[in-house]
Structure 1
Amino acid sequence: MANDKQISDLSLIDQKRINIRKIKNNIFYSILLLSILFSILVLCILLYQIFSEGIKWIDWDFITSMPSRSPEKAGILSALVGSIWTIGLTALIALPVGVGTAIYLEEYANKKGIFYKLLTINIANLAGVPSIVYGMLGLAVFVRFMNLERSILSGALTLSILILPTIIVSSQEALKSVPLSLKEGSFALGMTKWRTIAGVTLPFAIPGILTGSILAISRAMGEAAPLIMVGAAGYIAFLPSGPLDSFTVLPIQIFNWTSRPQAEFQNVAAAGIMVLMVLLLSANAAAIILRNKYQKKID
């Protein structure tokens, strides 16, 4: 009887512990849910404010006109072309270098060596460095030391360094996800290591690589601080024709409009934000389509 009572007491204690854990779990779940709902609510309020103020100012003249001191005549063409130039060059520079570095680290480097450990630790740490620091680095190295002046190329190289850690880390994780059996099967058929990487490893890892690249390019597209440091102008009344021309980008042009005293420029800035969002979503959509295409081939 005593043993039965002890067992009963223990079961009651266990049940109380389970109930306490359930209560804690529900509280924690509720806090997280409220945090997400609050974030979504704030985002919806911001989007509503932007669209309600900016939709009236978007027309073909706004897209095809240059910036102006008058809000009625202000356009976004030079900033739009500058953003396309800058992001295009950034992607051309950062993607091959980032993916190539990830391939070296995962397929060729000695993972037990000190060099590999130092390199991976520093890459992970660089992902958390503030963007303004990369801007100062770009100003010192690309603008002054390499004499590239305050050009599109200087801005693209600076943004490339900014997003390289993200691309490298995400590409490494994508390469790690490739099943070892696929590589061993390729080697068993007599393929060299490079042919195995190019024909087996990379095609399987491309969806994951593109996912990380989407996030990295999206971050670069919205950056303003590093480009201000390397000399992106707040007002450009001409279209850049090459990588060594002066430039401005959408985030800087929007910031310039928001700092103007006229209330109408706030609405023009909202219209500029809408254009930036369309450009960002278009780039993301293109990358997602490519990712899904390669994912279907793998499946």
Structure 2
Amino acid sequence: MRITERQPVRPLMDPEAVEGRMKARKAADRLFRMLFLTSTLLVLMVLGVLFYRILSQGLGNLTPAFFENFASRMPEKAGIRAALTGSLWLMAVVAPVSMILGVGTAVYLEEYAKKNRLNDWVRMNISNLAGVPSVVFGLLGLTVFARALALGNSILAAGLTMSLLILPVIIVASQEAIRAVPRDLREASFGMGATKWQTIVRVVLPGAVPGILTGSILALSRAIGETAPLIVLGVPVIIQFLPAGVLDTFTALPMQIYDWAKRPQAAFQEVASAGIIVLLILLLAMNSAAVLIRNKFRNRY
């Protein structure tokens, strides 16, 4: 038996070339890390300057009188009583209407609708509606709710218009949340004799609550800060009364802040900053409530 000599194994690449590539990769990694860090620091710096300017100008105006007074042409007497009440009334209409319709539509499209071209076309158009400018929804609300239904510039007309504005966002977010629920949970529910509706109510929706709430709160945060649809609907800036129902005329925080910010007097700029602080507090409260509810359901499922 002839024994052949084992040939030495040659490296696939030159060690120096491998070392050079490793150094290039590490240098690129350091470069991109510095770029990302710089971007983050720039964003934080801009936010810091913005918050500092708003807080430094507005904190001094957050007095009890600021919350008790109505709007005024004199900055020292201006308040947000009517605007704050109007925004709360507006959210009381927008939240239930948009969430019921949005979640209901998402449940139908994901659980009941068949997979065909028509339903795919509907899903695509709902996603496209999320990027339509808010002024377009304002024109739609003016045509349908304010004029055709003779609701005028009431809370109900504005609430329905804002609901249409954020409805696509809630539908898309709810669809993604429902789609993320594991299929095994549905099959286990069916295996135990549950109907489709029982499976949706007791398994799918509780599992999708965190994603649904996240999308809904982001959409409601957009609605509470929108101004263009309210301007198109003709919502007044200054009113001296509180609305008593959804058919009454109202004003909202974004409209009041917009009116103060466009005035040349420096005192009104400070009052506008105080209004922005109140609006930010409302947004933080909404987000905090969503986080608490989301964490509660996340621990259960």
Q: TM-score, normalised to structure 1's length? A: 0.94
- For residue 264 of structure 1, the aligned residue among 258, 262, 267 is 267
State yes or no: 1:159 paired with 2:173. no
State yes or no: 1:103 paired with 2:94. no
Measure how far apart 1:151 and its partner are: 1.0
Q: Which residue is equivalent to 1:186? A: 189
2:106 partner letter:
A
Measure how far apart 1:5 and its partner are: 7.1
Alpha-carbon distance change, 120 to 16 in structure 1, aligned in 2, over 3 angstroms:
farther
Which stretches in structure 2 are left out of the alignment for 5+ residues? 1-6
Measure how far apart 1:23 and its partner are: 2.4
Which stretches in structure 1 are left out of the alignment for 5+ residues? none
RMSD, aligned α-carbons: 1.6
Q: Which residue is equivalent to 1:76? A: 80
Task: Report Cα offsets for 1:213-266 as digits up to 9, x if no partner.
Answer: 111111111111111111221111111111111111101100101112221111
* 8 Å contact kept, 1:151–1:231: no
Q: Which residue is equivalent to 1:245? A: 248
Task: Report Cα offsets for 1:172-218 as digits up to 9, x if no partner.
Answer: 11111111111111111111100110011111111111111111111
1:171 partner letter:
S
Measure how far apart 1:15 and its partner are: 3.6
Q: Which residue is equivalent to 2:35? A: 31
User: Could you say what secondary structure the match of 1:72 adopts?
Assistant: helix
State yes or no: 1:122 paired with 2:125. yes
Please say which structure displays the higher CA radius of gyration. Answer: 2
Task: Report Cα offsets for 1:111-165 as digits up to 9, x if no partner.
Answer: 2x11111011111111111111111111122111222111111111111111111
Q: Which residue is equivalent to 1:87? A: 91
1:260 partner letter:
R
- For residue 45 of structure 1, the aligned residue among 43, 49, 52 is 49
Alpha-carbon distance change, 221 to 3 in structure 1, aligned in 2, over 3 angstroms:
farther
CA separation in 2, counterparts of 1:37 and 1:225? 32
Q: Which residue is equivalent to 2:61? A: 57
Q: Which residue is equivalent to 1:137? A: 140
1:13-32 aligned within 5 A: 13-32=17-36
1:145 partner letter:
A
Q: Which residue is equivalent to 1:277? A: 280
State yes or no: 1:150 paired with 2:153. yes
Measure how far apart 1:3 and its partner are: 8.4
1:51 partner letter:
L
Q: Percent identity?
A: 51
